Structure 1
């Protein structure tokens, strides 16, 4: 198995959206994302300005994504295709997003994980050092991590 991670370009927003809308947990359609103001144009603009997206490729298949926004200091998205879960892609993609935020000098980072009991992402983030910070108004669980605790890998640019 060969795994690579690349920085996504604004032209690759369709790949980001295809992976985002293919997950089982915290699934959303493009229409549901648009209802939250998350459109292809918004994501492309984020990548042109304060954001960076990473795409994990396994043996020629784009299998997972992470997106971080330095202006907000958050991990905006982190998703892996169901057939590629359990291969360490989530950990790898999160490390790249954390390293990007660390390199931009954010004081602390935050992310939200789906609402409801039994969400696997909650345990995943806690295991990787993210601290629960209560519920967001939409019911999602907020996690935080200090700049010092963020992964500091070389994220390929």
Structure 2
């Protein structure tokens, strides 16, 4: 199985939305994404500003992506098509996003639902839960080096 990771290009935008709307957990429709401000134009702008979105391809098929928010210092998205789960794509995509963010921030963050499979995945990658958010999600952080100001785990 040939897996390759690369920086997203403008012609990947439709595939990014296809992947995002085909996931089983944390599913959102295009209409819901648009309501949140996640549009093809917004993704195009992100790609134009910095290499902040990565595509995982398996045998030439766009099977997953991750996206980092450079201004916020967070992993904004990491999704893999259901039929490609369990092949290491998520871990590789997270590595790309984390490496990119750690070049700019000593501590990075993301948010997810505590009851999600993603929560366990992020914990296994070394992310620490630091805050329960009002809408029910958990904020997790990861530091490149031991940070004396890092927030304690909520577990």
TM tier relative to shorter chain: 0.7 to 0.9
Shift of 1:88: 0.6
Shift of 1:51: 5.5
Residue correspondences, number: 146
Distance 1:10 1:147, change over 3 A: farther
Shift of 1:135: 2.5
Q: Among residues 125, 128, 134, which one is paired with 1:128 in the alignment?
A: 125
CA distance in 2, matches of 1:39, 1:136: 25
CA distance in 2, matches of 1:53, 1:32: 20
TM-score by length of 2: 0.87
Contact persistence 1:69–1:76 (CA under 8 A): yes
Q: Which residue of 1 aligns with 2:90?
A: 90
Q: Which residue of 2 aligns with 1:24?
A: 24
CA distance in 1, matches of 2:45, 2:117: 30
Map of 1:99-114 to 2, 5 A cutoff? 99-103=99-103, 105-113=104-112
| Deviation per residue, 1:57-101 (Å, 9 max, x gap) | 111211110001211101111000000000010001000111111
SS of aligned partner of 1:148: coil
| Deviation per residue, 1:23-58 (Å, 9 max, x gap) | 000000111111111111112112212461111011
TM-score by length of 1: 0.86
Distance 1:83 1:20, change over 3 A: same
CA distance in 2, matches of 1:53, 1:17: 13
Q: Which has the larger radius of gyration?
A: 2
Q: CA RMSD in A?
A: 1.5
Contact persistence 2:8–2:51 (CA under 8 A): no
Map of 1:29-68 to 2, 5 A cutoff? 29-50=29-50, 52-68=52-68
